Amino acid sequence: MESPLHKEKLNETFKKADLNGSGKLTFSQIKCLMKTLIVNNKYIDFKDASFDLVCKMADLNGDKLIDYEELYNLLHGDKLEEEDFVKIAFRAYDTNSDGYIDMKELEEVLKLSGKDYDPDEIKLAIAVFDQNNEGNLNYNEFSDMVDGKIKRSSCWYLCFICCKK
pLDDT, tens digit, 9 for 90 and up, residues 85-122: 788 788 878 888 899 999 898 888 777 767 777 888 88
134/56: higher pLDDT: 134
Per-residue pLDDT at 161: 40
Q: What is the mean pLDDT of residues 10-24?
A: 89
- The confidence band for 159, taking pLDDT boundaries of 50, 70 and 90, is very low
pTM value is 0.56
- The confidence band for 23, taking pLDDT boundaries of 50, 70 and 90, is very high
Q: CA–CA distance from 56 to each of 84, 109, 110, 114 (Å)?
A: 12, 12, 16, 18
In the predicted structure, residue 22 carries a pLDDT above the cut 90: yes
Q: 23 — alpha (psi -120 to 50), left (phi > 0) or beta?
A: left
| Amino acid identity, position 145 | M
- The confidence band for 140, taking pLDDT boundaries of 50, 70 and 90, is very high
